[in-house]
Amino acid sequence: MQPSPLMLAMPVAAILLMAVSCSRSTEPTSTAGAPQAANDASVFDFEHDDVGTAPRGFTTALTGGGGPVRWQVQQAEDAASGTGRVVAQLSDDRTNVRYPHLVLEDFSARDIDLSVRFKTVSGAVDASGGLVFRYQDRDNFYVVRANALEGNVVAYKTEDGRRSNLGVKGQGDAYGVEVDVPHQRWNTLRVIATKHLFEIFLNGRKLFEVDNDTFAEAGKVGLWTKADAVTQFDDLTVMTLDPNEAP
């Protein structure tokens, strides 16, 4: 694979870290398309939120170190939803073990169908966008993220504040899957979580599955970035798959 311009611009330390992380990524284990989203899912397009503030109904949080997070609604002519507004994480703090996230209030579910449109804008240490689910608190949750620098999609658990790779079903502890994540373009990340099985999709294609039962109870959902990643998000789509777990 030829290095991308984004990769060539990265600091040496970030390249070395990426090489270690990517060395165990595997090829996607599925070629299936993504199922159609339900018509009664809740969609958050931030159209009616005030520019320059965090969106209503969401809480900002941080796992790890570094400076404060900056989640704000922005004007964006190319917003994926067509509303002209997105929510973005704007802090560019380069602390590596630093995970800003934005959590949806007044929602809790175990089994969910969760997706978001995201665009990585900048980042030298990291350029990624992620989905948080079964969120208990800032130190305990699942996250699936797509990384434009590394060219992969990986599922993790954060337990007691420590992030660890969940592997790939059928491929042991493989570090997610290798896949193109176009930088500065809109992508769609999706996870369908049912009991201990998680199906991971990017841009309408199923990539892999994860089997894990660390967090078996219901939890919140949200958005996620890492380190200095400046990332825009739009059309956060949330659907509970358990009729007893209503928003």
Is 246 a member of any domain? no
Model confidence over 193-228: pLDDT tens digits? 999 999 999 999 999 999 999 999 999 999 999 999
Give me the pLDDT at residue 9, please. Answer: 52
Give me the pLDDT at residue 23, please. Answer: 43
Residue 103 is part of which domain span?
A: 5-240
**Distance of alpha carbon 60 from alpha carbon 74, whole angstroms:** 16
Residue with tokens 């994926």: 80
Model confidence over 90-118: pLDDT tens digits? 999 999 999 999 999 999 999 999 999 99
Count of domains observed in the chain: 1
Q: Residue 167 burial (CB < 10 Å; 0-12/13-18/19+)?
A: buried
Is 144 a member of any domain? yes
Is 245 a member of any domain? no
pLDDT higher than threshold 60 for residue 14:
no
Smallest Cα–Cα separation from 225: which of 136, 128, 139? 128
Give me the pLDDT at residue 133, please. Answer: 98
Give me the pLDDT at residue 20, please. Answer: 44
Tokens of 6: 């984004």
Give the other-Cβ count within 10 Å of 190's Cβ: 23
SS3 242: coil
Give me the pLDDT at residue 244, please. Answer: 66
Give me the pLDDT at residue 156, please. Answer: 98
Give me the pLDDT at residue 25, please. Answer: 79
Is 247 a member of any domain? no
Write the CATH number for 10.
Answer: 2.60.120.560
Is 145 a member of any domain? yes
Give the other-Cβ count within 10 Å of 78's Cβ: 12
pLDDT higher than threshold 80 for residue 247:
no
**Distance of alpha carbon 89 from alpha carbon 70, whole angstroms:** 5
Give me the pLDDT at residue 174, please. Answer: 94
Give me the pLDDT at residue 153, please. Answer: 98
Indicate the range of 38-47, 127-136, 178-187 predicted with least confidence: 38-47
**pTM for this prediction:** 0.88
Model confidence over 19-77: pLDDT tens digits? 444 447 788 888 788 888 777 899 999 999 999 999 999 999 999 999 999 999 999 99
**pLDDT-derived band at 16, boundaries 50, 70, 90:** very low
Determine what percent of the chain is predicted with pLDDT higher than 90. 81
Indicate the range of 17-26, 70-79, 122-131, 232-241 predicted with least confidence: 17-26
Is 62 a member of any domain? yes
**Is-contact 97 199, C-beta < 8 A?**
no
Give the other-Cβ count within 10 Å of 47's Cβ: 14
Give me the pLDDT at residue 187, please. Answer: 98
Is 169 a member of any domain? yes
Contacts for 114 with CB less than 8 Å, ≥ 6 apart: 131, 133, 190, 191, 192, 193, 221, 236, 237, 238, 239
Smallest Cα–Cα separation from 160: which of 137, 180, 181, 176? 137
Strand partners, 178: 152
